[in-house]
A and B are shown apart, each in its own frame.
Chain A
Amino acid sequence: GAVVSQHPSRVICKSGTSVKIECRSLDFQATTMFWYRQFPKQSLMLMATSNEGSKATYEQGVEKDKFLINHASLTLSTLTVTSAHPEDSSFYICSALENRGTQPQHFGDGTRLSIL
């Protein structure tokens, strides 16, 4: 089945650091990738949608300059949390869509980000 690799799985860093999270589709080309944020005991909140070679579409309330998304190829999207602060601590999950229609999104295993 389709596999999405997300790296790193866990990050602990100091306030003010920028953190990059990678999302790769390993055995398929992803036309679209999505980035979600999940707070403890809550649902997944869509942050942005990225398409290869074009600018990401951010959801309302998500700071574009804070959460930089680059979709450089059909198999790789990156999320960079710039100048991270403790309130950015959360669980970030990416997903990738191979084709539209009935194909479901394939999720990465998530990244737990802790900002000290």
Chain B
Amino acid sequence: AQTVTQSQPEMSVQEAETVTLSCTYDTSESDYYLFWYKQPPSRQMILVIRQEAYKQQNATENRFSVNFQKAAKSFSLKISDSQLGDAAMYFCAYRGNRDDKIIFGKGTRLHILP
């Protein structure tokens, strides 16, 4: 069975600094999709970034980028120039190619220090 592990329950970063959130996963599939979702206090789930496993190039969305290491089954999220609005719970998620179910990690709560 697939699993997603986020080993950092909480992290803090100074405003304008860079922070990296870790995520590892376990799967026997070769084709799959990885996502980072943000959940602010409103509890709305917001897609931050996504990565297709067959693509070697790391995905980037403005200040958000990932470091996808397929062999190591690692999918970390880097947030550059952190802003107060980035404070939220961040979930790493996996979706296999056989079905459409998403498996979420336990989440990392990110605090932004002014």
Least distance between B32 CB and chain A CB atoms (Å): 11
**B35 near A104: Cβ-Cβ < 8 Å:** yes
**B52 near A93: Cβ-Cβ < 8 Å:** no
Least distance between B106 CB and chain A CB atoms (Å): 5
Q: Is A44 an interface residue (CB 8 A)?
A: yes
**B100 near A49: Cβ-Cβ < 8 Å:** yes
Contact residues on A (Cβ < 8 Å of other chain), bracket = 10 to 19
CB within 8 Å of A: which B1-23 residues: none
**A102 near B33: Cβ-Cβ < 8 Å:** yes
**A44 near B44: Cβ-Cβ < 8 Å:** no
**B44 near A109: Cβ-Cβ < 8 Å:** yes
Report Cα–Cα, A102/B27, bound state, in Å.
18
B105 contact set on A, CB distance < 8 A? 43
Q: Which residue of B lies closest to A105 (CB)?
A: B102
**A104 near B91: Cβ-Cβ < 8 Å:** no
CB within 8 Å of A: which B29-50 residues: 33, 35, 42-45, 47, 50
**B101 near A93: Cβ-Cβ < 8 Å:** no
**A32 near B104: Cβ-Cβ < 8 Å:** no
Residues in A lying within 8 Å of B, measured CB to CB: 32, 34, 38, 42-44, 46, 49, 91, 93, 95, 97, 100, 102, 104-105, 107, 109-110
Name 24 A/B residue pairs within 8 A (Cβ), A-sorted: A34-B100, A38-B43, A43-B91, A43-B104, A43-B105, A43-B106, A44-B45, A44-B91, A44-B104, A46-B102, A46-B103, A49-B99, A49-B100, A91-B43, A93-B43, A93-B45, A97-B100, A102-B33, A102-B50, A104-B50, A105-B100, A105-B102, A107-B45, A109-B44
**Nearest 3 interchain pairs by C-beta:** A107-B45, A43-B104, A43-B106
